[in-house]
Structure 1
Amino acid sequence: MELVCPAGTPASLHAAVDAGADVVYCGFRDATNARNFPGLNFSRDELRDAVRYAHKHDVHVYLACNTYPQAGIEYIWQAAIDDAVAIGVDAVILADIGLLRYARDRHPDARLHLSVQASASNEEAIKFYHREFAVRRVVLPRVLSLEEIRYLNHRIPVETEVFAFGGMCVMAEGRCSLSSYATGESPNMNGVCSPAAHVHYEERDDMTVSRLGDFTINIYDQNEKVGYPTLCKGRFRAMNKSGYLFEEPTSLDVTAILPELAEAGVTALKIEGRQRGKAYISQVVSAFRASLDRISQGQLTTRSSLSTLSEGQSDTTGAYRRSWQ
């Protein structure tokens, strides 16, 4: 299976390539990608240099242009597609059907992948994107079980890519309204969840309070590790109980089920984390490279060594095994 790895900066891209990535995905420094944070992403010249470096090491580069254009400024997204193709990326990752049509008409030879933000999770939807826009690969939402993925792979004419490690998203794969409600900015429209300009922390007695805009997201005692305040991972009081109402802090990690994913026909494994530093990228990519290499040598079981990098130092296989059913 192809190992698709994140890069939020040129340094992270180099780290991913050097650690054994088959593919690195990144975005331009604007609202066209869903990780539009200050200090992240690539200029046109940086992407050109990154593609040269990656290709020198037989590694592909995918450009994420996976947010939804706003009326009247569609040209920003169209320019991202044009420039990515001109630079020579190996695929463009898109979600919006208007952009898919633009890319297919303007660049008929470009390889197009369907972003997880399109939330295509059934046979009919995936075949539609393949038929209308010649999409070659779909990034599947994190709501499908192994059996459902296996079922799809026997019935669709495209490759499938699934998430393998990193943050979970309980909303419709990034199309979240909670962040927009609290800050006016959301992942799918502005490329940012819980923007840093709205984040602040307060010391209250022996507690640390994390806030997003006008909202208290969490209160930590002095022995707890303080997390970044995103609404879906906050602690709230509901029905006279306090706890993680939407999602507990935990990370997806499929190391234990890599052989099962391969057997289900998965083409590529996607590591989440373009906002992470190069040390994190290097450690995660190296661990997955080693696990995949062991499997290719016939060792069908492998253990994760990444628990210290997981949110809350806990991990899950998410919906793949659906242990709650």
Structure 2
Amino acid sequence: MELVCPAGSMTALKAAVDNGADAVYMGFRDGTNARNFPGLNFDLNEARQGIAYARNRHARVFLAINTYPRPHQWGKWCVAVDQAASLGVDALILADPGLMDYCAQTHPDLRLHLSVQGSATNHEAIDFYVRHFGVQRVVLPRVLSLTQVQNVMKRVNAEVEVFGYGSLCVMVEGRCILSSYVTGDSPNSSGVCSPAKAVKWEESASGRRSRLNGVLIDVYAPEEPAGYPTLCKGRFEVGGKVYYAMEEPTSLNVLDILPDLFRAGVTAIKVEGRQRSPTYVAQVTRTLREAIDACAAGPEKFSPKGAWVEQLDKIAEGRCHTLGAYTRPWQ
């Protein structure tokens, strides 16, 4: 299985490549990618340098143009596709069918991957993209169980990439109605569930408060670790009790099911986190590289090392991990 790691900056790209990533994924420094953060991503010159660095160390580079352009933006998104083709990226990660059609017609030799933003969760949807646009790989959303992943893989004529570590999403990827309602911005086009301009921290004697566009998300006791405020991972009063009503802050970690994914024929394990620090990227890449190599050498004997779990939990949301939707005992 390939290890595909995030490159939100040149430093993060080098951290991923130097620690064993088979491929990295990046975006341009604009709204064409779904992680449009200030200070992140690449201009054309930086992208060219990053590609050269990765290629010289036998790693591939994928570029994400995975947002949905509005009608007045169409030309800019087509230019981004043209620029990616001119850079010679190893694959383009797309979500919008119109852009896929443009790419298939204009750059027929450019390899296409279906972004998780496309939310293709069944073989019929995946086959549509394969037949019409020549998509060669699909990134499955983080809402499928392991059984569902295995069943999809038996019926599709495309490579399958799944998320192996990082944040979870309780909504249709990138189109969260909750965060859109609170901030007025689409997570897909704004690049994040909680745009920095909408985040506010308040300090008081009783602790720290986090707000999102004025909405109280959480209250932290003194010395309690405070996570970045997202609506789905906030604590709310429901029925007289204050708790994580929608989702607890935790990170996806598939170490326990690596052999199952390997036997199912999964092509790549993807790490979430282009907005994360280079230190995060280096640690996750290094740990998963060891784990994937150990699994490939003997899936029947594979067992996650305690050191791997400990290293990944240190940088996980909430300092803990979950299999998320992958584990559903009733299936």
TM-score of the superposition, structure 1-length normalised? 0.97
1:319 and 2:325 are equivalent in the alignment: yes
Unaligned runs of 5+ in 2: none
Q: Is the 8 A contact 2:182 2:213 kept in 1?
A: yes
Unaligned runs of 5+ in 1: none
Counterpart position of 1:138: 138
In the alignment, residue 318 of structure 1 is paired with which amino acid? G
> CA separation in 1, counterparts of 2:76 and 2:180?
21
Deviations 1:89-140 (A, max 9, x none): 0000000111111111111111000001111011111101100111000000
Describe the superposition over 1:238-273 as per-residue Cα deviations: whole angstroms up to 9, x where unpaired. 222211122100000001211111111111000001
Using the alignment, how far apart are the partners of 2:130 and 2:324 within structure 1?
27
Q: Confirm or deny: 8 A CA contact 1:67 1:190 kept in the other structure.
A: no
Query: Is residue 2:18 matched to residue 1:18?
Result: yes
Paired position in structure 1 for 2:313: 307
Matched, 1:81 2:81: yes
**Equivalent position SS for 2:163:** strand
Residues 167-218 of structure 1: per-residue CA shift (max 9 Å, x gap): 0000101211222222222221222321111111112332111011111110
SS of the aligned residue for 2:61 comes to strand
User: Per-residue deviation at 1:324?
Assistant: 7.4
Q: Which secondary structure does the structure 2 equivalent of 1:319 belong to?
A: helix
- Per-residue deviation, 1:296: 2.5
Give the distance between the partners of 2:176 and 2:150, measured in 1 at CA.
28
Between 283-292 and 238-247, the greater mean CA deviation after superposition: 238-247
Pairwise CA distance, 1:231:
0.8
Shift, 1:323, TM fit: 4.5
Output aligned runs, 1:241-320, within 5 Å. 241-298=241-298, 299-303=301-305, 304=309, 305-320=311-326
> What is the CA–CA distance in structure 2 between the aligned matches of 1:190 and 1:77, rounded to whole Å?
15
What residue number does 2:121 align with? 121
State whether structure 2 residue 162 is matched by structure 1 residue 162: yes
Report the CA distance between 1:293 and its aligned residue. Answer: 1.5
Residue type of the partner of 2:324? G
What is aligned with 2:219? Answer: 219
**1:117 aligned counterpart, secondary structure:** helix
> Per-residue deviation at 1:38?
0.6
- Three-state SS of the structure 2 residue aligned to 1:13 is helix
**C-alpha distance in 2 between matches for 1:275 and 1:35:** 7
State the AA in 2 paired with 1:59.
A
Q: Could you tell me how far apart the structure 2 residues matched to 1:24 and 1:37 are?
A: 18
Does 2:155 align with 1:149? no
Partners of 2:33 and 2:189 within 8 A in 1: no
Equivalent residue of 2:13, what SS? helix
**Contact map agreement 1:81 1:103 (CA 8 A) in 2:** yes
Query: Using the alignment, how far apart are the partners of 1:295 and 1:233 within structure 2?
Result: 32
Measured in 1, the distance between the counterparts of 2:175 and 2:106 equals: 27
Q: Deviation of residue 145 (structure 1)?
A: 1.6
Cα distance in structure 1, aligned partners of 2:326 and 2:185 = 30
Q: Which residue of 1 aligns with 2:6?
A: 6
Alignment partners' CA distance in 1, 2:322 and 2:32? 30
Distance change >3 Å, CA 177–CA 114, structure 1 → 2? same
CA distance in 1, matches of 2:258, 2:136: 23
User: Over the residues paired in the alignment, what is the CA RMSD in angstroms?
Assistant: 1.2
* CA distance in structure 1 between the aligned counterparts of 2:22 and 2:92, rounded to whole angstroms: 16
For the 8 Å contact 1:147–1:264, the answer to whether it is kept is no
- The alignment partner of 1:5 has SS state of strand
The residue aligned with 1:101 is 101
- Whether the 8 Å contact between 1:67 and 1:187 is mirrored in structure 2 is no
1:238 paired to 2:238: yes
The range that moved more, 204-213 or 285-294, is: 204-213
> Is the Cα–Cα contact under 8 Å of residues 64 and 94 in structure 1 kept in the other structure?
yes
Contact 2:165 2:253 in 1 (8 A): yes
